Amino acid sequence: MATIEAVDGDLTTQQVDAIVNAANSTLLGGGGVDGAIHQAAGPRLLEECRRLRKTTHRDGLDVGDAVATGAGDLPARWVIHTVGPNRHRGQTDPELLASAFRRSLEVAAEVGARSVAFPAVSAGAYGWDADEVARIAVETVRDWTATHDEVELVRFVLFGERTLTAFERALSA
């Protein structure tokens, strides 16, 4: 079973094989975590995302799905882009959120990533409560890693004490 941990930190500086981007469906950058990753990764990340939009993801990425690109100037090897549900748009099904975490792990395994760092997908601007995100994320990661051995480390890299505490509580349950 994988090691699962939660830390306060900057996702863009993590020394892991893959980081997960809480992307929007366009895959072309945005605000929050998405904007920070694109800024730190440099122009190659946006170029790869544009290629995806011209080829395999012409209509963008669906909520709950994930896709990998290279990581540009980041210390990670890959960025796994996932689109979490947006509560403000009526996307309130917890399965959509669980799918974003599960699909990210599946894509990580497909590219050969042994260590993955996640943000609190859908918390913050997408309106999901940090405690609910933490519970769903931890449960989904535990369930997936219980039956898959490809990923050895899952690190939730969180911004702010409230979100970190929510994930620490979920991990201790």
Extract the tokens encoding 150: 């490809």
pLDDT of residue 21: 98
Taking 3-state DSSP, the helix, strand and coil percentages for the chain, each rounded to the nearest 5, stand at 45, 20, 35
φ and ψ at residue 37, rounded to 5 degrees: -65, -45
Q: Compute the distance between CA of residue 75 and CA of residue 86 in angstroms, rounded to an integer.
A: 29
φ and ψ at residue 159, rounded to 5 degrees: -110, 115
CATH architecture for residues 3-172: 3-Layer(aba) Sandwich (3.40)
pLDDT of residue 1: 80
Active site residue 59: no
pLDDT average per 10 residues of sequence, the chain (173 residues): 95 98 94 94 96 96 98 98 97 98 98 98 94 98 97 97 97 96
Q: Compute the distance between CA of residue 82 and CA of residue 154 in angstroms, rounded to an integer.
A: 16
User: What is the three-class DSSP state of 38?
Assistant: helix
pLDDT of residue 118: 98
Judge whether 85 and 63 are in contact, CB under 8 Å. Answer: yes
User: Identity (one letter) of the amino acid at 117?
Assistant: A
pLDDT of residue 124: 85
Q: Compute the distance between CA of residue 11 and CA of residue 158 in angstroms, rounded to an integer.
A: 8
Global model pTM greater than 0.85: yes
pLDDT of residue 119: 98
φ and ψ at residue 136, rounded to 5 degrees: -65, -45
User: Identity (one letter) of the amino acid at 36?
Assistant: A
Given the residues 8, 10, 17, 34, the one annotated as active site: 34
Tell me which long-range contacts 61-64 makes (C-beta under 8 A, separation of at least 24): 61/23, 61/25, 61/27, 62/25, 63/25, 63/91, 63/96, 63/100, 64/95, 64/96, 64/97, 64/99, 64/100, 64/103
pLDDT of residue 58: 96
Distances (CA, A) of 168 to 118, 141, 158, 165, 173: 14, 14, 11, 5, 9
